């Protein structure tokens, strides 16, 4: 009875036989113990033992149906893993790998976008990106990571940025101005509006925000303060508070604590 050998995404040996696949459990000299890959997920007790790639005996029966497309699926995934080591584009890798696969195999593969993300993750892992720094002193960007595709250096060894783009957080702004006084600080209006809407959700007023025009308008007044002259912000902020809009207090107080 013919068997096929493959491997998992993590490189562990897999044996495929009659629509069932087994993962290597342990090996001793030429004898290998295999267990069904559905052992944990479906509590399948089926096992088999091989010597020199020949099945010696089996233990237990499968509690699930076989899948005749297993070999095709693993071959396709294996080809994708191999092509990840090349320089061809992600789109070309997917197109090449699925070009000759059957409809049955295609129907059981992840969506194309998921395959592309898998390729990108695998390639990123192969690049050995530097570890995330825990402080500024640990920031060391060397080698190819500091070069453009034209091999020109674009990252300087000293972290001395000319500008920052951050949220409208007064604490962060003060910290940046203290550490890098020569740098300009720019705030992101999109993140400001996001943070305020999260507070609406947190307070349980999502439905009210969607149905009550007066309430939604009052909430949107808060991020709009960013477009005023600095000297006018606090007085207009107080005017918003004096509108006496029902349920605005939690959002108003949050904005005052973090942005005023």
Residue 251 has pLDDT above 90, yes or no: yes
pLDDT band at 5, cuts 50/70/90?
confident
pLDDT, mean of residues 132-136: 76
Give the residue from 55, 86, 85, 78 showing the smallest Cα distance to 8. Answer: 78
What pLDDT score does 8 carry? 81
Cα–Cα–Cα angle for 216, 220, 221, rounded to 5 degrees = 120
Higher-pLDDT residue of 147, 51:
51
Give the residue from 159, 179, 158, 176 showing the smallest Cα distance to 167. Answer: 176
Q: Which tokens sit at 6? A: 């493959």
Domains of the chain listed by start with CATH number: 4-59 (2.20.25.240), 70-126 (no CATH), 189-259 (no CATH)
The tens digit of pLDDT for each residue in 137-193 reads: 777 777 777 777 787 776 555 567 888 888 777 788 888 888 888 888 888 888 889
Using CB atoms within 10 A of its CB, is residue 110 exposed (0-12), middle (13-18) or buried (19+)? Answer: exposed
Model confidence pTM above 0.75: no
Which of 58-62, 67-71, 150-154, 171-175 has the lowest average pLDDT?
150-154
- H-run or E-run covering 207: helix 206-211
Q: What is the mean pLDDT of the chain?
A: 86
SS (H, E, C) 23-42: EEEEEECCEEEEEECCCCCC
pLDDT band at 2, cuts 50/70/90?
low
The tens digit of pLDDT for each residue in 207-242 reads: 999 888 999 999 999 999 989 998 999 999 999 999
Give the residue from 229, 228, 220, 230 showing the smallest Cα distance to 251. Answer: 220
Q: How many percent of the chain have pLDDT more than 70?
A: 94
Q: Which tokens sit at 230? A: 């600095």
60: left (phi over 0), alpha (psi -120 to 50) or beta: left
What pLDDT score does 169 carry? 75
What pLDDT score does 240 carry? 93
Which of 1-5, 183-187, 251-255 has the lowest average pLDDT?
1-5
What pLDDT score does 204 carry? 93
Measured in residues, the chain has a length of 260
């Amino acid at each position: 009875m013919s068997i096929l050998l493959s491997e998992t995404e993590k490189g562990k040996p897999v044996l495929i036989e009659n629509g069932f696949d087994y993962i290597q459990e342990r090996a001793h000299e030429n004898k290998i113990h295999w267990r069904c890959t559905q052992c944990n997920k479906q509590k399948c007790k089926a096992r088999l033992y091989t010597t020199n790639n020949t099945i010696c005996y089996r233990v237990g029966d499968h509690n699930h149906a076989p899948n005749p497309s297993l070999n095709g699926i693993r071959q396709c995934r294996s080809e994708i893993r191999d092509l990840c080591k090349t320089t061809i584009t992600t789109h070309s890798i997917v197109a090449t790998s699925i070009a000759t696969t059957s409809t049955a195999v295609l129907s059981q593969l992840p969506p194309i976008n998921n395959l592309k993300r898998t390729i990108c993750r695998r390639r990123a892992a192969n690049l050995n990106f530097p570890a995330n720094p825990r402080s500024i002193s640990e920031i060391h960007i060397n080698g190819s990571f500091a070069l453009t595709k034209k091999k020109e250096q674009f990252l300087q060894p000293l972290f001395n940025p000319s500008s920052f783009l951050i949220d409208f957080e007064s604490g962060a702004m003060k910290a940046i101005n203290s550490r890098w006084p020569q740098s300009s600080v720019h705030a992101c209006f999109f993140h400001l509006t996001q943070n305020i809407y999260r507070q609406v959700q947190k307070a349980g007023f999502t439905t009210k925000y969607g149905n009550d025009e007066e309430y939604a308008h009052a909430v949107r007044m808060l991020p709009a303060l960013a477009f005023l002259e600095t000297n006018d912000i606090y007085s207009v902020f107080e005017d918003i508070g004096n509108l006496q809009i029902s349920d605005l207090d939690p959002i108003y107080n949050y904005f005052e604590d973090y942005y005023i």
